[in-house]
Amino acid sequence: MSHILSPLDIKLLRDLWRIRGQAAAIMFVIAAGLALYVMSDGMLGSLKETRRAYYERQQFADAFAPVKRAPNYLLEDIQNLPGVARAEGRVVGGAIIDLPDVSQPITSQVLSAPEHGRASLNLLHIVTGRTVDITRADEIVLLEPFARAHGLNPGDSILVTLHGAQRRLDIVGLALSPEFVYAINPGDFAPDDSRVSVFWMGREAIGKAFDLDGAFNQVILEFAKDASEPAILDALDRILAPYGATGAYGRDEQISNKYLMEEMDQLSKMAVILPPIFLAVAVFLLNIVLTRMIQTEREQIGLLKAFGYSNVEVGWHYAKFVLAISLGGAALGCLGGMALGRMIAGVYQQFYKFPFLIFAAHASTFVISIAVTSAAALLGVTFAVRQAATLSPAVAMRPPAPPDYSKTAKVFRAIERYVDQPSRIVLRGLVRRPVRAAVTCLGIGAAMALAVMMRFNQDAIEYMMDVNFDVMDRSDVSVTFIEPQSDAVILELKRIDGVYAVEPQRNTPVMMRHGLAEHLGSITGTLPEPTLNRAVDTDLRSIYVRSDGVILSEPLMEKLQLAPGDLVTFEVREGRRPTIDLPVAGVANTMIGLPAYFEIGALNRALGDGPLVSSAYMQIDANKRDEIYRKLKDMPTIAGVAMQKESRDAFQKMIDEGPGTFRYIFTLFSVLIAVGVVYNSARIALAERRRDLASLRVLGFTRGEAAFILLGELAVLTVLALPIGGSLGYLMSSYIAKAFSTELYQIPVVLSWNSYGIATITVLVSAAVSGLLVQRDVNKLDLVRALKTRE
């Protein structure tokens, strides 16, 4: 071996073996960060490639334009628009499915099936069975996840209410669609395969069912290469405006694709934000370990240079020490990231319905991981390596000058009568080496901060659930109508036995504008003081909805660059399509979506309508739930029904199976970091004070007293680090919340005392375990060897 390795390389291996515990702890910190990066970047690449291939193969449309009713001949004018490669009209509607084993009414979307014999857009991926026969009016293709959830297969039939009329339809195939990769019901917070239904019918059959023979109510487009999307959408709106257009939108605003893009954006942010935090902690530990190693090896460095080793050789020796640890951590991280990625791909497949999703990290991901880790590690220890390289033999072989402690003598004379000798030694160590104490405290504080940050995700999600389902939405059931109804329908709902209360709402599609900023959304008309579905402020108090101004969510205010009192323009996209200018009367605290609230009577007057409602929220008797559901199924004006309990259960399931998986991963990583930081601090302290502890043992101190002196200092620094780490963890969580918030979800900055408690226990247990391991080494201390020195 000695013929293969140089003496410095042999020393390197011996040093790594000597501090193998510390090296392993640092490797695990590096591995945790890189595993997150490899998983996030690899999953992002897999989703992008799968989405691209799937959309391309199924010819997913580039733009969508809903309309009330437009004649088929209008498609020729749309086809001739500059930049339009293909235009297709289709029929889209709502339905209620009545399954014999399910008491609740199931809301479903129904679309005209693309004709696979033609060059159609949004082609179906048939999983089993076949597509519909356009000559048969009773055949449908059903969304495969919904069918599997209820055990439905080709050959079965289901009872469906279409536009107020009940029909029995035959299932001939199960399919996936690029339009419903992330299938979610309007108003729900999470997908639920058992409640999210979509089916496709023949064009002629669905046209007759919705009174759209020879017409369409949605046009989908494929853009030509280098087409201008804004110009096409504006031209499309102008053509369709006389026919009740509600506003064309591009693929980026299509709900399924938007959720998918938001998730990809989250993965991108995770890959950029979280791994550097882990890497920074690892570099911090490497710097401390190497700096203090060089301090304890001064004589050895001097001997090496006296025997002819150059500054470069000595510097490279310590650089290789850092590289060995960082590359070991990088290798573990890459392997862990691959395993983590394959596991997460299975989780994603439960929510994002691609025909297949295979995790595959690109080679560049591993190259970047190793290169960045090595570069960061070397950069972080540059000063320490330079110090070793430039240390002259004469200075290195001479013991360092003893520090001057005269300034602290008066302090200890004042308190020495109150504490015993070992405690005085602990206090002297802290006061006389403030920089070392501060660095150790900062390192432990970083572990506490990361443990707090890892708990933040769970607290934020639980808070969002509590506010949305217990504070803002207190209803049991909500219904939406096929089209706005007279408010007499509210009285009809109230007359159902078991219904305690009903509150109306009017939702109207609008384009909101302020200056150059705009947002395509809806304005919600509600009662001035609703009790079942409320707008709340930052203190979660109900907001009075006024008739002389709108209440906007804070993220919507930011997007439109508004302040309270500013005027915002609402261009209504239905009915008479008026334009309304309203002042901002208040700001609502919302965590899902970008709502705008207005008093329902004032909204109806502004629209030039009578007292109309488009949805209603209900409070019901749970004992009469099934009977109420049967009544709702029989109402021909109802397009959809949502149950709050089922929505909450679906959201909880998604959290447990999706973000919940990350929660357990992050908890494991926080423990690894806490152990790594605290254990390294304890080992470094032992290495620095080995000679002092041996001297105390020779002078008569017991093993317990010697261990107390070492671990007492660590205990004091750990306690001092807890509030520092807690505050730093809150700041880090605030940054994460802001970075990861989107239009779909606004993440609140919430940290419970429970999370602070768990993070504190994590750090304290890590400190206790590290202390026990170090105490074992103190007990085994070789007094003769520790007191030897080269003179």
Last residue in a domain, options 179, 211, 243: 211
- Burial code (b: 16+ CB inside 10 Å, e: under 16) for 287-315 equals bbbbbbbbeebbbebbebbeeebeeeebb
Contact 105, 185 (CB under 8 A): no
Last residue in a domain, options 628, 651, 674: 651
Rg (CA), the chain: 34
Tokens 């261009």 identify what position? 571
Instruction: Specify the amino acid at residue 103.
Output: S
Q: Does 625 lie in the same domain as 737?
A: no
Distance CA 219, CA 92 (A): 10
Q: Does 100 lie in the same domain as 57?
A: no
Residue with more model confidence, 348 or 407: 348
pLDDT, average across residues 709-720:
83
User: Is 484 within the bounds of a domain?
Assistant: yes
Split at pLDDT 50, 70, 90, the class of 658 is low
* Amino acid 400: pLDDT: 63
User: Is 494 within the bounds of a domain?
Assistant: yes
User: Is 122 within the bounds of a domain?
Assistant: yes
User: pLDDT of 302-357, one tens digit each?
Assistant: 778 777 888 888 888 888 888 999 999 999 999 999 998 998 888 888 889 999 88
pLDDT, average across residues 487-515:
91
Distance CA 455, CA 327 (A): 29
The backbone torsions φ and ψ at residue 596, rounded to the nearest 5 degrees and listed phi first, read: -135, 130
Q: 735: how many CB neighbours lie within 10 A of its CB?
A: 13
Q: Does 744 lie in the same domain as 627?
A: no
Most confident of 279-288, 447-456, 611-620, 762-771: 611-620
116, pLDDT greater than 80: no
Could you give the 3-state DSSP secondary structure of residue 612? strand
Last residue in a domain, options 352, 379, 401: 401
* Amino acid 156: pLDDT: 93
425, pLDDT greater than 80: no
Q: Does 385 lie in the same domain as 253?
A: yes
Distance CA 788, CA 791 (A): 10
User: pLDDT of 129-171, one tens digit each?
Assistant: 999 988 888 999 999 999 999 999 999 999 998 887 888 999 9
From 387, 547, 459, select the one nearest 747 (Cα to Cα).
459
97, pLDDT greater than 50: yes
Residue with more model confidence, 735 or 200: 200
Split at pLDDT 50, 70, 90, the class of 174 is very high
Residue with more model confidence, 599 or 630: 599
Residue with more model confidence, 309 or 84: 84
How many domains, in total, are found in the chain? Answer: 4
Percent of the chain's residues with pLDDT above 90: 32
Q: Does 736 lie in the same domain as 656?
A: yes
From 13, 24, 19, 17, select the one nearest 774 (Cα to Cα).
19
409, pLDDT greater than 60: no
User: pLDDT of 481-491, one tens digit each?
Assistant: 888 889 899 99
pLDDT, average across residues 612-625:
91
Q: Does 252 lie in the same domain as 395?
A: yes
* Amino acid 791: pLDDT: 47
User: Is 15 within the bounds of a domain?
Assistant: no
Q: Does 357 lie in the same domain as 257?
A: yes
- Burial code (b: 16+ CB inside 10 Å, e: under 16) for 457-489 equals bbbbbebbbebbbeebbbbbbbbbbbebbebeb
* Amino acid 418: pLDDT: 67
- Burial code (b: 16+ CB inside 10 Å, e: under 16) for 208-239 equals bbbebeebbbbbbbbbeeebebeebbebbbeb
User: Is 13 within the bounds of a domain?
Assistant: no
First to last CA, the chain: 31
Between 266-275, 431-440, 620-629, 630-639, the lowest mean confidence (pLDDT) is in 431-440
Q: Does 364 lie in the same domain as 240?
A: yes
* Amino acid 413: pLDDT: 61
User: pLDDT of 364-401, one tens digit each?
Assistant: 889 998 999 989 888 888 887 787 777 677 666 666 66
Q: Does 520 lie in the same domain as 428?
A: no
State the residue range of the domain holding 492.
Answer: 471-651
User: Is 674 within the bounds of a domain?
Assistant: yes
Q: Does 426 lie in the same domain as 370?
A: no
Q: Does 540 lie in the same domain as 432?
A: no
pLDDT, average across residues 188-213:
88
User: pLDDT of 723-761, one tens digit each?
Assistant: 998 999 899 888 888 888 877 778 888 888 888 998 899
Q: Over the chain, what is the mean pLDDT?
A: 85
